[in-house]
């Protein structure tokens, strides 16, 4: 029976299942070509790895591959319960800790290739990892969206490795006790963006919705977020690509200087620290620091007699 070797980690409560050995062969093309091949020909593997009964809607997969660039030590394709992600910040921190667990990396700066560009990570000790994400930027500010419920909200459209709609005037408590309302409003925002053809600069779908609120304690954090991911699950971590997009907006508003720390808290209370440097083209290069832990190592077994061998999925 085919087997898939995985290392499970979590970053601030958000799981990453790192695929370290599998029958998936995507050849030697660019990372975006390999991502497209994975989506076209291996979608049943995606479901087998991250969907129920082996995974859950919250699980993010990270398929380790040979690098595209000679300077990189690996390539990675991130995916979830509904498809592939461009980049994944909590996932990159999880991959770094899994690589350390496998003794494939030690201290120093390492580069990995993703479908949206190379990213770097540095092991800081004590399970902490700093990543430098792809160049990030705000595309449009204060875009109005009218929700099916009649309410009009505003948000910034920003790139942090995925497209985000970042909204602050939602009026909701960014607290676990308000999960139902947070889920409803973020789903309505997403529907409204789709219905009105509001996209990222490259026409890319805005598939991450981020609601910002005040932190529980200003001693610990600068802001708190709720991030709805493409498959409608919410990110338990502060979302690395979402924090990158938020940092790009703060920089564009003149509210965060290069090198200044922004502490982003998730809805479950986990924390990322973010800073940025400026790239030549005016975009920001976000650095995100967080901690991940290995919490499992397993062989997934693909038993052809199992009616749910390739996962349970509506799409």
Binding segment (CB under 6 A) for ligand PYC, from list 43-51, 87-95, 170-178, 245-253: 87-95
Q: Has 229 been annotated as catalytic?
A: no
Q: Has 309 been annotated as catalytic?
A: no
Strand ranges (E), the chain: 3-11, 14-21, 60-65, 74-79, 84-85, 109-114, 117-125, 128-132, 137-146, 152-159, 163-167, 208-213, 223-228, 262-265, 271-278, 284-301
The residues facing 137 across adjacent strands are 159
Q: Least distance from C-beta 74 to ligand PYC, angstroms?
A: 18
Instruction: DSSP letter for 259, please.
Output: T
58 binds ligand PYC (CB under 6 A): no
| Window 1 to 40, contacts with ligand PYC (CB under 6 A) | 14
Q: Which one of the listed residues 51, 88, 167, 309 is annotated catalytic?
A: 88
**Helix, strand or coil for residue 38?**
helix
Separate counts of helices (H) and strands (E) for the chain? 5, 16
Instruction: DSSP letter for 160, please.
Output: S
Q: Which one of the listed residues 84, 167, 229, 239 is annotated catalytic?
A: 239
Closest residue by Cα to residue 267 from 210, 313, 203, 184: 210
59 binds ligand PYC (CB under 6 A): no
Closest residue by Cα to residue 102 from 10, 15, 20: 20
Per-residue binding string, ligand PYC, 90-129, x by CB under 6 A, is x---------------------------------------
CB of 256 closer than 8 Å to CB of 276: yes
Binding segment (CB under 6 A) for ligand PYC, from list 26-34, 109-117, 179-187, 237-245: 237-245
Binding segment (CB under 6 A) for ligand PYC, from list 82-90, 182-190, 297-305, 307-315: 82-90
237 binds ligand PYC (CB under 6 A): yes
Of 207, 235, 265, 273, which one interacts with ligand PYC (CB under 6 A)?
235
Nearer to ligand PYC, 88 or 112 (CB): 88
Binding site for ligand PYC (CB under 6 A): 14, 60, 85, 88-90, 229, 235, 237, 239-241
* Residues involved in catalysis: 88, 239
């Amino acid at each position: 029976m085919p087997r898939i070797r995985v290392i499970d980690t979590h970053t601030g409560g958000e799981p990453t299942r790192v695929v370290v050995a599998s029958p998936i062969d995507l050849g030697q093309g660019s990372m975006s070509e390999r991502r497209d091949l994975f989506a076209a020909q291996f979608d049943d593997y995606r479901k087998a790895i991250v969907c129920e009964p082996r995974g859950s809607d919250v699980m993010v997969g990270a398929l380790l591959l040979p690098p595209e660039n000679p300077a990189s030590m690996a390539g990675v394709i991130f995916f979830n319960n509904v498809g592939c992600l461009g980049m994944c910040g909590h996932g990159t921190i999880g991959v770094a800790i899994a690589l350390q667990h496998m003794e494939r990396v030690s201290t120093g700066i390492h580069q990995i290739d993703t479908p949206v560009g190379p990213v770097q990570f540095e092991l800081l000790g004590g399970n902490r990892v700093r990543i430098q994400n792809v160049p990030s930027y705000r595309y449009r500010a204060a875009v109005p969206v009218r929700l099916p419920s009649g309410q009009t909200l505003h948000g910034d459209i920003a790139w942090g490795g995925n497209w985000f709609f970042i909204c602050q005037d939602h009026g909701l408590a960014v607290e676990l006790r308000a999960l139902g309302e947070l889920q409803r409003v973020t789903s309505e925002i997403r529907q409204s963006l789709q219905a009105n053809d509001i996209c990222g600069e490259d026409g890319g779908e805005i598939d991450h919705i981020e609601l910002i609120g005040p932190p529980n304690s200003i001693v610990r954090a600068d802001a708190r977020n709720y991030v709805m991911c493409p498959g409608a699950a919410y990110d338990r971590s502060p979302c690395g690509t979402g924090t990158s997009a938020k940092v790009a907006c703060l920089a564009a508003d003149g509210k965060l200087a290069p090198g200044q720390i922004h502490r982003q808290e998730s809805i479950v209370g986990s924390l990322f620290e973010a800073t940025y440097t400026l790239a030549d083209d005016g975009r920001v290069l976000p650095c995100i620091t967080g901690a991940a832990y290995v919490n499992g190592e397993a062989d997934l077994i693909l038993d052809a007699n199992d009616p749910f061998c390739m996962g349970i999925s509506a799409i």
